[in-house]
Amino acid sequence: MSKYWSKLAASLTPYVPGEQPKDRRYIKLNTNENPYPPSPKAIEAIRSAANDDLRLYPDPTCDDLRAAIARRHGLAKEQIFVGNGSDEILAFAFPAFFSPERPILFPDVTYTFYPVYAKFYGIPYETLPTDDEFGIDLNDYAKPSGGVVIPNPNAPTSRCLDLDSLIRILEANEDRVVIVDEAYIDFGGRSAVSLVGDYPNLLVVQTLSKSRSLAGLRVGMAFGHPDLIEGLNRVKDSFNSYTLDRLALAGALAAIEDEAYFEETTRKVVATRERTAKAIAELGFVSIESSANFLFATHPAFSAEMLFQRLKGKGILVRYFNKPRIDRYLRVSIGTDEEMDQFVRALADIVDEAGRIDQ
C-alpha cells in the first residue's frame, strides 16, 4: 500500500497466473500449454520477420492477420479483432460492452480473471451456481442483466455446452452482449463462431496460446458483428494503438494458415487426454468429461492439496486451487504421452503410499 496509489489501485485483487518455476525443470502440466511445438511454418515466419523492418511500427489494424482468420472461417475482416492474447481482448470487451449500472452474469466456478476485470472497471457481477458436476442451468442466464460471459469449455472444469444451449442463452439476451470465451474450444467442443452471422449480440473470443502452441507469442482473436468489433477498436485505440508486434503478426498468420499441423497436434492432445482419463480412473480418480486440453479430477480418498504437493516433489507441476467448491480437484494439463505416463506412474505411487499410511 502506498499513498501514491489511486483508490482503485489500492482496491484491486490482481489475477495470479499459474507458476512459471525457475528453480528446476518440471514436467509442466499446470498452465494448459500445448506439449507440441508451434507449427514450423510459424517459427520460420517469425525468423523471416526478425529483420530491419522492426524499426517501423507494425500495422495498427492488423489487416493481414485478420484477413487470414476471416478466410479460415468464411467471415469478413470486419468481423475479426486480434489482441495481445485473449486476456487483453477480454480486458477490452468488458468496458466496451458492460457498464457499472447493471451486473453481468457468469458461472460461480470459472476463469478467475472475470471478476478481476469486473472490479478493475467497476462493473458489478453476479455469479450463478453450477451444479455438483459443474454444469450450468440455462434458465439462470435468461434473467435481466448487463451482459453474460460464458466460458466454453469452462475452465477449470473442462465442461462444454453444445450450440443449442448457447443459442438459448443468446436468444434470451438479445439486448446485451454474450461473450463466449473459447480458449479451449479446439480440443473437442463446437465453436460458436458459426453463429456470429446470426447473432449480433455474440462475441466469441479465442486464443493461439493453447491449440496453436503459441502461449509465448501472445495472440488472441475475437469474432463478432462489425459493430462489436468496432466497439473493441474504440477501447483499444483509447489504450494502445499497436498491441501486436511485427513478429506476433507474422507468426500468428502462418500458424492460422497451417491447418494440417493444427489438426494433427490437437488430435494428438485429445487422444492423450482420453488415455490419461482412463488411466487415472483406474487409480480411483473421478474426472469431469473434458472437452479441453486438461483434466479436472478428484479422488474420493485423498486431498488434492496433498496430491499437488507430492507431485511437485516428484517434479510434476499441476494446478491446485485453494478455493471453495474446487479445492478437492486437480487441474492437469495434457502433455505428451510420455509425460502423461510419468504423471500416471507418479500418481499411482503417491496413491499407493498414501493408501498404505491410511490403513
Per CB under 8 A, contacts with a second copy among 153-212 are 175-177, 200-201, 209
Q: In the complex with a second copy, which residue's Cβ is closer, 48 or 309?
A: 48
Contact window for a second copy (CB under 8 A) among 88-96, 127-135, 322-330, 344-352: 88-96
Least distance CB 216 / a second copy (angstroms)? 4
Is 124 among the residues that bind a second copy (CB under 8 A)? no
Q: Give the phi and the psi of residue 222 in degrees, each rounded to 5.
A: -130, 150
Q: In the complex with a second copy, which residue's Cβ is closer, 202 or 350?
A: 202
Per CB under 8 A, contacts with a second copy among 19-78 are 20, 28, 31, 33-38, 42-43, 46-47, 50-60
Whole-Å CA distances, 213 to 36, 150, 209, 335? 7, 23, 5, 12
Per CB under 8 A, contacts with a second copy among 235-274 are 235-248, 251
Contact window for a second copy (CB under 8 A) among 85-93, 126-134, 179-187, 277-285: 85-93
Is 357 among the residues that bind a second copy (CB under 8 A)? no
User: Which helix (H) or strand (E) element contains residue 48?
Assistant: helix 40-49
In 3D space, the residue among 175, 159, 224, 187 whose CA is nearest the CA of residue 32 turns out to be 187
Task: Choose, by CB under 8 A, the member of 12, 271, 301, 306 that binds a second copy.
Answer: 12
Contact by Cβ (8 Å): 292, 188:
yes
CA dihedral 345, 348, 354, 357 (to 10 degrees): -100
Per the rule left: phi > 0, alpha: psi between -120 and 50, beta: everything else, 213 is left
Is 112 among the residues that bind a second copy (CB under 8 A)? no
Rounded Cα gap, residues 122 and 141, in angstroms: 21
Task: Choose, by CB under 8 A, the member of 79, 191, 213, 291 that binds a second copy.
Answer: 213
Least distance CB 288 / a second copy (angstroms)? 24
CA dihedral 346, 349, 353, 356 (to 10 degrees): 140
